[in-house]
A = this chain, B = another copy of it.
Amino acid sequence: MAERRPLALITFDVDDTLYSTTDFVRRARENSLKAMLAAGLDLSLEQARAELAEVVSEFTSNDEHHFDRLLQRIPRERLGGINPAILIAAGVAAYKDTVVHSLAPYEDVQEGIKRLHERGFRLGVASHGLTVKQAEKLVRLRILQYLDKHALFFNEQLGMSKSNPKFFLRAAETLGLKPEQCLHVGDRPDRDVDPANAAGWITVLNRRSGRYHEMVGDTPPAYTIHNFWDLQELVERDFVPVRADPSAAPA
């Protein structure tokens, strides 16, 4: 049996790693469109879906005016004589309801993270997106108690994209850790595997679901997993938790 290597940090990507963003967003948008139709929007569900998909593709998923834009793009008579603010509000309310009631981790994530935490591994997050929006997901996934409060890395706060290897170099440096003792788990070859590899981190590709399931990156991950039981197994087989040199830790 090979000797287990020291591991000082495990970071997790958020979207499609800790929860099924793809499934969640599909459900939230579907609920919103159905609410807008119920409020009087005169489109078929298929038409509304197609129009919203175009809006998201043209303005990105973080745009805050999806429903406004949807209504602007369609012929005015399709509003069914309803004040557009009411149609937008029906969509917004249904979306928020879905966030509050349905945003939940993959079924094995909470237990997997809890166990790694109990085994003594230091856990964190490396996330790309709107900072408070990403942080709200962590709150709703109910995993914050297992994460090191100094190991939450958001690309906006670091002033760089997560696709830049410096993101991972800076994260390790902030905690006074060697990159080769840090491991990152994510679903995107371009934002998780390639840049973390380039920074000298150990990489785990989460091949579970999501939009990037078929994407091929420039460099292979050190490991591929399909769920958090796989992750558990490889970490406990190949690694032993180490704490950083206290003299190198930040104040």
Contact = CB atoms under 8 A, between A and B. Distances in A.
Interface in A170-228: none
A31 to B, nearest CB: 13
Contacts of A134: 85
A10 interface: no
A83 B149 contact: yes
A138 interface: yes
A109 B154 CA distance: 45
A159 B93 CA distance: 25
**Per DSSP, are chain A's interface residues mostly helix, strand or loop, or mixed?**
helix
A82 interface: yes
Q: Which bracket fits the contact residues of A?
A: 20 to 34
Nearest to A98: B100
A81 B136 contact: no
Contacts of A93: 136, 139-140
Given A90-B139, A96-B100, A100-B97, A85 B132 contact: yes
A7 interface: no
A83 to B, nearest CB: 5
Given A40-B149, A149-B81, A138 B99 contact: no
A150 interface: yes
A144 B83 contact: no
Given A39-B144, A40-B149, A140-B93, A135 B99 contact: no
Contact of A135 (B81, B83, B100, B154): B83
A126 interface: no
A139 B90 CA distance: 6
Contact of A96 (B83, B99, B138): B99
Given A83-B152, A92-B136, 9 more contacts: A39-B144, A83-B149, A85-B157, A86-B135, A89-B135, A89-B138, A93-B139, A96-B99, A96-B100
The 6 closest A-B pairs by CB, nearest first: A89-B135, A89-B136, A85-B135, A100-B100, A85-B131, A93-B139
